[in-house]
């Protein structure tokens, strides 16, 4: 297993529970997007026209989340901060409202549950919303999890289940056109029949990976801020807003943290927090909830989302025998953690992806030549 973020740890944990011997390499488990993210579990408010196949996978993962978390909390005794408090999308001007109305119509066509609200109704739910909020859309089924707690629990669960974690960079070792394991920085070889690549936005840059084996996974920077609320909390549920064409979300944690996110910057591996990114997040969030002004800023950081060519995950066998992908989750890594763990651990144990995941195989990007066994 290469990668100790949420995806890598969840797959490793599940595989170990199925009796497999699992070793995992990561120089800094949880140092990437897993702990930067806001932890929204929002298949409905994240549903985009034309991505219905991804929506089905997202919904499956969301449905499985409560059981997944219960099992993880029981196994570790650690809380994961799953909060089933719903999500409220809001809009300001005429154009923002048109976007929201389109979203509502789309939900309706697909049979997804959401309730259109007036500005007044939205403020009745969240009284600190600005007077300028003109319309809302309540999605009772979109929740949140504290992804930092989740990561900590998964790390403990994996280790307790027998996963050996090596804090090291690693190189994929290929022999006779097959992945044979990982070579650690200290020279140690982790021989393996199956190697899972879960290195997020660094997946297609992994040392030793032959060219063309995996579609390109690109880094998509998100800048994200964390404020601290005083009691009583400014917000009780996640609020997502289109603000004069801009977009921002505010995710309130039970312990008082308020997560503001996130930019979507296609700028390579640059992890800077920029003046413009911070400015726009604060400007838009202030427009939605003016009361944030007095809140302390306790963190500003970035994460690099792993974006595949179609922004859907890459799950399953790659063009290199023995190498399995669990990457490319883009904006949905936290949400897709349970379903990815189930699908990839099933593949590892039984040799085939479950039907619901088959459409996400990296082979969907293969050209006809690849199918004949040559790498791009």
Interacting residues with its own copies (CB under 8 A):
225, 227, 272-276, 278-279, 282-283, 285-286, 292-297, 300
Measured from the CB atom, is 56 or 278 closer to its own copies? 278
Closest C-alpha to 300, from 220, 221, 249, 224: 224
**Least distance from its own copies to the Cβ atom of residue 335, Å:** 27
Least distance in angstroms from the C-beta of 95 to its own copies: 23
Closest listed residue to residue 328, CA positions, set 346, 317, 314, 338: 314
Helix axes 337-350, 6-17, angle to 10 degrees: 40
- Shortest distance in whole angstroms from residue 288 CB to its own copies: 12
Which is nearer to its own copies, 80 or 288 (by Cβ)?
A: 288
Q: How far is the CB of 230 from its own copies (least distance, A)?
A: 11
- For residue 251, say if its preceding peptide bond is cis, omega within 30 degrees of 0: no
Nearer to its own copies, 159 or 273 (CB): 273
Comparison of 300 and 366: residue with beta carbon closer to its own copies: 300
Taking the CB of residue 182, how many other CB atoms lie within 10 A of it? 27
**What is d(CA 322, CA 195) in angstroms, rounded to the nearest whole number?**
6
CA–CA distance from 71 to each of 9, 10, 15, 29, 67 (Å)? 15, 12, 15, 21, 6
CB of 275 to its own copies, least distance (A): 5
By C-beta, is 296 or 355 nearer to its own copies?
296
Cβ nearer to its own copies, comparing 190 with 288: 288
Contact 144/85 with Cβ under 8 angstroms? Answer: yes
CA dihedral in degrees (118, 119, 125, 131; nearest 10)? -170
- Separation in Å, CA 181 to CA 167, 170, 204: 16, 10, 16
CB of 278 to its own copies, least distance (A): 6
């Amino acid at each position: 297993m290469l990668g100790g973020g949420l995806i890598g740890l969840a797959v490793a944990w599940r595989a170990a529970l199925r009796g497999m011997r699992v070793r995992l390499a990561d120089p800094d488990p949880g140092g990437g997007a897993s702990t930067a993210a806001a932890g929204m579990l929002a298949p409905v408010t994240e549903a985009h026209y034309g991505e219905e196949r991804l929506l089905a996978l997202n919904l499956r993962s969301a449905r499985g989340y409560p059981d997944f978390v219960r099992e993880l909390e029981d196994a570790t005794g650690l809380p994961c901060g799953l909060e089933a408090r719903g999500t409220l999308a809001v809009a300001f001007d005429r154009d923002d409202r048109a976007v929201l109305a389109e979203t509502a119509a789309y939900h309706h066509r697909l049979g997804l549950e959401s309730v259109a609200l007036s500005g007044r109704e939205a403020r009745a739910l969240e009284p600190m919303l600005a007077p300028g909020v003109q319309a809302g859309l309540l999605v009772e089924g979109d929740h949140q999890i504290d992804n930092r707690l989740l990561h900590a629990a998964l790390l403990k669960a994996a280790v307790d289940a027998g996963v050996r974690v090596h804090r090291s960079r690693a190189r994929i070792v290929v022999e006779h056109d097959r992945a044979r394991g990982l070579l650690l920085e200290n020279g140690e070889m982790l021989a393996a029949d199956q190697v899972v690549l879960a290195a997020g936005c660094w997946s297609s840059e992994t040392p030793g990976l032959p060219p063309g084996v995996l579609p390109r996974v690109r880094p998509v920077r998100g800048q994200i801020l964390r404020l601290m609320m005083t009691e009583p909390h400014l917000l009780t549920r996640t609020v997502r807003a289109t603000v004069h064409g801009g977009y921002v979300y505010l995710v309130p944690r039970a312990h008082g943290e308020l997560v503001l996110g996130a930019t979507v910057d296609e700028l390579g591996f640059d992890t800077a927090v920029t003046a413009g990114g911070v400015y726009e997040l604060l400007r838009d969030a202030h427009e939605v909830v003016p009361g944030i002004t007095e809140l302390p800023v306790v963190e500003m950081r970035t994460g690099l989302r792993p974006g595949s060519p179609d922004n859907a995950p890459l799950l399953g066998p790659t063009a290199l025998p023995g190498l399995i992908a669990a990457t490319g989750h883009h904006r949905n890594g936290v949400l897709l953690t349970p379903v990815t763990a189930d699908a990839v651990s099933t593949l590892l144990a039984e040799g085939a992806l479950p039907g619901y995941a088959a459409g996400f195989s990296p082979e969907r990007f293969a050209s006809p030549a690849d199918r004949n066994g040559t790498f791009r």
